């Protein structure tokens, strides 16, 4: 198989684009896709300081790497979930990445923020682990970004993540979630920091290939709580569809963003206010994070 | 059960005293000559070599788009030949379990609309 651009030996075939690239041309392709994502959705400008939420996995570290390569001013934020060896190793990967490149990394701990690490939260609240974990991540990332004055948070969500989320929302016709699904969510409240996903045009395999070719040391092992997660089941269904029809995921997500999302966007209208306890943004009186912390406090 | 199923089953069943998977090949695997390293959990199988990557993936019932195929420090494409004596890593690319919900910091966890599913999405009950 030959690189479509230079004719040398290819290292990666991209069936959805009916093409293949050598390593240097694939890295160019990857950077171009990120540039296009940032440009098309006006994610951030060259002078804005971007907070990059990193987990130690391929997507977030690939994102941080490509933003640094592109010359953006960035700081990393790692949220220690307290998930046994998985968290110890993933934190070490983030710290090493930051140290090797001389960039700043902020670290927050769920155990301090909520009152217990994710495994304990899961046990005492009987909530699905991905639910309390996702809630904690959204809350802490936004609060840290706001407190430090970052204008924008970038996360490593890729095309597969976004397609799987869309698939789940459509399966249950979650119209509020459909309205919110976007590569860039503007700040709709003074305490809500803009949130962007510069990798949304790139598949999971493409981000993994970028991380490998850039020799990024990321955690390959899966989170022990991810087994059986609904989002993974959705990804597996979509992978089968993609194998039978290359480009299916791309068309599903991009078709939604281009043609269907505006209809759901118009239908949505929620009032945002501040939590009476912590002051962060919520749709109710007491925010879900404070409710979670209360639940953990009562049970521990 | 296909040959690939029995190969994988033989490996998955092999655990040491601590419960960690070990490299123990089934009879079908003995004598075959390309070594395949699988992850999550880490384990190894041997398959017949001198075949294309895509043929080996098909035998192992692995969707090509779900893995990177790595030989030494290089990525391999589906049409490349895995030779006898080669060691190939099939590195999964899927990550997940995260809930991708945005906007206010707390929706998708607000229980008023229903019960959260494992990935944090809301399900009516």
Domain chopping of chain B, boundaries = 3-92
In total, chain B counts a number of residues equal to: 125
In this prediction, residue A197 has a pLDDT band, given cuts at 50, 70 and 90, of very high
> What pLDDT shows up at residue B116?
33
User: Given an 8 Å threshold on Cβ–Cβ distance, is A222 in contact with B78?
Assistant: no
Q: Do B65 and A205 touch (CB under 8 A)?
A: yes
3-state secondary structure of B99: coil
Rounded to an integer, the average pLDDT of A13-24 is 96
**Higher per-residue confidence, B24 vs A183:** A183
Closest CB to B75 among A12, A162, A240 = A12
- Do A130 and B120 lie within an 8 Å CB cutoff? yes
User: A283, A291 in Cβ contact below 8 A?
Assistant: no
User: Which chain A residue shows the shortest CA-CA distance from B42?
Assistant: A221
Which residue among A189, A270, A292 sits closest to B109, beta carbon to beta carbon? A292
Q: To 10 degrees, what angle do helices A159-171 and A248-255 make?
A: 70
Contact A69, A200 (CB under 8 A): no
The backbone torsions φ and ψ at residue B89, rounded to the nearest 5 degrees and listed phi first, read -100, 130
- In a mutational test of the B interface, the residue from A288, A289, A292, A293 whose CB has the highest number of chain B CBs within 10 Å is A288
Nearest alpha carbon to residue A223 among A211, A231, A215 = A231
H or E element, residue B82:
strand B81-82
Chain A: nearest CA to B124, how far in angstroms? 8
For residue A127, the model assigns a pLDDT of 79
Angle, CA A201 vertex, CA A200 and CA A206 arms, to 5°:
100
The pTM for the full model equals 0.84
At A170 the pLDDT is 96
pLDDT higher for A150 or B29? A150
ipTM of the complex as predicted: 0.88
Given this model, what pLDDT does residue B103 score? 38
Kindly state whether A93 is in contact with chain B, defined as any CB-CB distance less than 8 angstroms. Answer: no
- Of the CA atoms within 13 Å of residue A91, those in its CB half-sphere come to 16
A108-150 pLDDT, tens digit per residue, is 999 998 888 988 888 888 777 788 888 889 999 999 999 999 9
Q: Which residues 147-186 of chain A have a CB within 8 Å of chain B? A: 157, 160-162, 164-165, 168-169, 172, 174, 176-177, 180-182, 185
For residue A225, the model assigns a pLDDT of 86
- Please give the pLDDT value at position A133: 86
State yes or no: pLDDT of A195 exceeds 50: yes
Peptide bond into B57 cis (omega under 30): no
Q: Which of B39, B54, B66 is nearest to A235 (CA)?
A: B66
d(CA B1, CA B9): 10
In chain B, residues with a C-beta closer than 8 Å to the C-beta of A270 are: 103-104
Q: Check pLDDT > 60 for residue B10.
A: no
Q: How many contacts (CB atoms, under 8 Å) link A and B?
A: 199
Work out the mean pLDDT of chain A and round it to a whole number.
94
**Is some CB atom of chain B closer than 8 A to the CB atom of A264?**
no
Residue A196 forms beta bridges with which residues?
A: A154, A184
Cβ separation A135–B120 shorter than 8 A = yes
CA B82 to chain centroid: 18
> Does A81 lie at the interface with B, CB-CB under 8 angstroms?
no
Q: Is the pLDDT of residue B30 over 80?
A: no
What local confidence, expressed as pLDDT, does residue A76 receive?
Answer: 98
Residue A228 pLDDT grade (very low, low, confident, very high; cuts 50, 70, 90)? confident
DSSP-derived secondary structure letter, B105? S
Determine what percent of chain A is predicted with pLDDT higher than 70: 99
Q: How far is B22 from chain A (nearest CA, A)?
A: 17
pLDDT digits (tens, 9 = 90+) for A70-119: 999 999 999 999 999 999 999 999 999 999 999 999 999 999 988 889 88
Q: Which residue in B75, B106, B122 is closest to A135 by CB distance?
A: B106
Mean pLDDT of A229-251: 93
Q: How confident is the model at residue A50 (pLDDT cuts 50, 70, 90)?
A: very high
Side-chain-side CA neighbours of residue A42 (13 Å) = 1
Q: Which of B1, B46, B44 is nearest to B22 (CA)?
A: B44
| Confidence at residue A267, expressed as pLDDT on a 0 to 100 scale | 61
- Is a pLDDT exceeding 90 seen at residue A241? yes
Give the CATH number of domain B3-92; options: 3.10.20.30, 3.30.930.10, 3.40.50.2020, 3.40.50.620. 3.10.20.30
pLDDT higher than threshold 60 for residue B100: no
Nearest to B103 among A165, A180, A220 (CB): A180
In chain B, what is the straight-line distance between the N-terminal and C-terminal CA atoms, in Å? 39
Residue A268: its pLDDT value, please?
60
A49-54/A152-154 β-pairing:
parallel
CB-CB under 8 Å, B102 with A195: yes
CB contact under 8 A, B98 and A133: yes
pLDDT reading at A270 higher than 80: no
Model pLDDT, residue A269? 66
Instruction: Look at B65 and A165 and tell me if their CB atoms are within 8 Å.
Output: no
Q: Greater confidence, B56 or B98? A: B56
> A133 CB near a chain B CB, below 8 Å?
yes
Q: Do B100 and A161 touch (CB under 8 A)?
A: yes
Task: Name the range with the highest mean pLDDT among A267-271, A288-292, B113-117.
Answer: A288-292
Give pLDDT tens digits for B77-96: 999 999 999 999 999 999 87
Mean pLDDT of chain B: 68
Instruction: Over range A227-242, report the average pLDDT.
Output: 90
Q: Which of A115-129, A244-258, B8-22 comes out lowest in average pLDDT?
A: B8-22
Q: Do A288 and B106 touch (CB under 8 A)?
A: yes
**For range A193-222, the mean pLDDT:** 97
């Amino acid at each position: 198989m030959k690189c479509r651009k230079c004719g040398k030996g290819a290292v990666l075939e991209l069936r959805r684009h009916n093409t293949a690239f050598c390593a240097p041309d694939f890295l160019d392709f990857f950077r171009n896709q990120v540039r296009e994502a940032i440009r098309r959705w006006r994610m951030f400008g060259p002078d804005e300081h971007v907070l990059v939420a990193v987990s130690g996995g391929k997507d977030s570290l690939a994102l941080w790497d490509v933003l640094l390569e592109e010359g953006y001013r960035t700081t990393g934020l790692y949220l220690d979930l307290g998930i046994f060896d998985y968290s110890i190793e993933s934190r070490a990967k983030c710290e090493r990445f930051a140290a090797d490149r001389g960039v700043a990394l902020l670290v927050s701990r769920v155990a301090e923020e909520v009152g217990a690490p994710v495994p304990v939260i899961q046990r005492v609240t009987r909530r699905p682990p991905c639910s309390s974990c996702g809630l904690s991540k959204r809350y802490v990332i936004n609060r840290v970004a706001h407190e430090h004055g970052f204008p924008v948070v970038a996360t490593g969500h890729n095309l597969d993540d976004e397609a799987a989320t869309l698939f789940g929302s459509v399966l249950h016709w979650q119209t509020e979630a459909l309205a919110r699904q976007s590569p860039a969510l503007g700040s709709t409240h003074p305490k809500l920091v803009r949130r962007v996903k510069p990798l949304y045009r790139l598949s999971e395999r493409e981000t993994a290939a970028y991380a490998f070719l850039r020799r990024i040391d990321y955690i390959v092992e899966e989170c022990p709580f991810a087994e059986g997660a609904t989002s993974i089941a959705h990804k597996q269904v979509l992978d089968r569809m993609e194998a039978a029809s290359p480009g299916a995921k791309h068309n599903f997500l991009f078709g939604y963003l281009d043609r269907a999302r505006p209809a759901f966007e118009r239908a949505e209208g929620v009032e945002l206010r501040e939590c009476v306890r912590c002051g962060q943004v919520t749709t109710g009186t007491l925010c879900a994070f404070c409710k979670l912390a209360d639940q953990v406090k009562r049970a521990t | 059960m296909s040959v690939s199923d029995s190969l994988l089953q033989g490996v998955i069943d092999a655990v040491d005293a601590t419960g960690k998977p070990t490299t123990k090949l089934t009879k079908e695997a003995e004598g075959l000559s390309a070594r395949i390293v699988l992850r999550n959990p880490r384990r190894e199988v041997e398959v017949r070599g001198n075949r294309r990557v895509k043929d080996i993936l098909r035998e192992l019932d692995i969707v090509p788009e779900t893995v990177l195929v790595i030989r030494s420090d290089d990525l391999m494409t589906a049409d490349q030949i895995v030779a006898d004596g080669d060691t190939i890593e099939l590195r999964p690319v899927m990550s997940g379990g995260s809930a991708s919900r945005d906007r206010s910091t707390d929706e998708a966890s607000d229980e008023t609309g229903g019960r959260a599913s494992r990935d944090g999405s809301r399900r009516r009950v």
